[in-house]
Amino acid sequence: MKFFTYDFQFFFSHGLIIATALYATLSYACRPTGKSVLRVAICTNIYVLAVGVFNQITGSNYLFICHKPDTASIMDVLGPWPIYIIP
């Protein structure tokens, strides 16, 4: 039962990210522009770099940027490290 609860929480919380973006786009007429997409890309890369430094200091693997998970996952089709980080 614990596995089901974790899966539900994972997909629910990540699904809310998509739902929030769609809600803001449709309800508030917030349309993404080229400038906003670039800003998000830059902020995401800064975040990944910060998490990478944190991972090196603590020996952790947040965002799976140091290596893929030990178990089979969808990341297996994205290629080897570091190629899978790009998509």
pLDDT tens sequence across 32-81:
888 988 999 999 999 999 999 999 999 999 988 988 888 887 788 888 88
Residue 71 is predicted with a pLDDT of: 82
Does the pLDDT at position 15 exceed 70? yes
The domain ranges of the chain are 1-31, 33-87
Q: Contact at 8 Å (CB) between 77 and 84?
A: no
Residue positions counted in the chain: 87
Residue 54 is predicted with a pLDDT of: 97
